[in-house]
Structure 1
Amino acid sequence: MSAAVLAKFIEDLHPAFEAGDPAAAQKSAEAACVGLVQDQYRAVVRGDFAAFLVSMAEDIELENIGPPAIPFVGCWRGRAEVAEAIRRNFSWLEDQQPEVLTVVAQGDTVIVIARERGRFKPTGRAYDMHWVQQFTFKDGRVARFRQVFDSASLLDAITGPNTSQPAAQS
């Protein structure tokens, strides 16, 4: 992971939250939640899992939604289980290059929509996918994290391109 690419991704979150909303400056609760999301990403990037754990509620729930062939699809509960899942899930990927597309925040919920390019470590194959992450906060900590990603490119990186489909007709 390039430190500059990841720093830009994290810094782009707040401007994306403000984009297109002239009243964004008055949304202090939502801005605070976006700031907490940025802090979480920063902790993960620098490998500071102690700070990352403190940002989560005791009963945190992590859910990655996608096809079962993707090794980091699943649901985990509690700080220790979630922290281990995140460490393991990141270990599958390398050369991650996330790009913020949109940030939406309402009350205690932040939605981040992004595009990410990188490689699946075990195969060395590249992927280029979009993902949506939903953070729900309770008492200033993440209580629920849900991620959904388009999976075709990631599945190709894991298993190889799907060659069972007929070739396009000219």
Structure 2
Amino acid sequence: MSTNLSVVKGAYEAFARGDIPAVLAVIADDVEWRVVGPASLPFPRACRNKEEVGAFFKALAESDDISQFETREYIDAGDHIVTLGFVKSTIRSTGEPLESEWIHVITVKNGLLTRFVEFFDTAAREGH
């Protein structure tokens, strides 16, 4: 396993145990962090620094009660790691369930995440 893959896996493990400070510890000060989707999403879609990424995680926790978050496959391409996974949650504002597969495209340089782009089924969230 590459060092970059180890960094990414460690970040997912920290997220799974709710340790957001440990996730933020591996985020570069100058980061490109995006969730691709409509402006109606309840959490920030573009972040440029750790503080904004921290706000993203806060907004995500306020919006969704995640009951299942699985990383199903890692594709290691050196500085670029692609992760395929699945999420199941309840939208807090409506109590409605949400399920989606997702793809994360991550760039790691010098042991830090410098880019994170998320794609998921935004239509599954439509109207929520």
Normalising by structure 2, we get a TM-score of: 0.87
Give the Cα–Cα distance (whole angstroms) in 2 for the partners of residues 114 and 101 of structure 1.
5
Higher helix share: 1
The correspondence of residues 46-125 of structure 1 with structure 2, limited to 5 A, is 46-72=17-43, 74-125=45-96
In structure 2, relative to structure 1, the CA distance for the partners of 1:47 and 1:39 (3 Å cut) is same
- Which residue identity lines up with residue 45 of structure 1 in the other structure? A
The 8 Å contact of residues 67 and 73 in structure 1, kept in 2 or not, is answered as no
Q: 1:53: Cα distance to partner?
A: 2.0
User: Given the two structures, how large is their TM-score scaled by the length of structure 1?
Assistant: 0.68
Change in Cα spacing, 1:55 to 1:115, as seen in structure 2 (3 Å) is same
Runs (4+) of structure 1 exceeding 3 A deviation are none
Unpaired runs of 5+ residues, structure 2, are none
Q: What residue is the counterpart of 1:143 in the other structure?
A: 114
Q: CA separation of 1:129/1:50 partners in 2, compared to 1, >3 Å: closer, same or farther?
A: closer
Q: Which has the larger radius of gyration?
A: 1
Q: Is the CA contact 2:66–2:87 (under 8 Å) kept in the aligned structure 1?
A: no
Q: Identify unmatched segments of 5+ residues in structure 1.
A: 1-27, 159-170
Q: Greater share of strand residues, 1 or 2?
A: 2
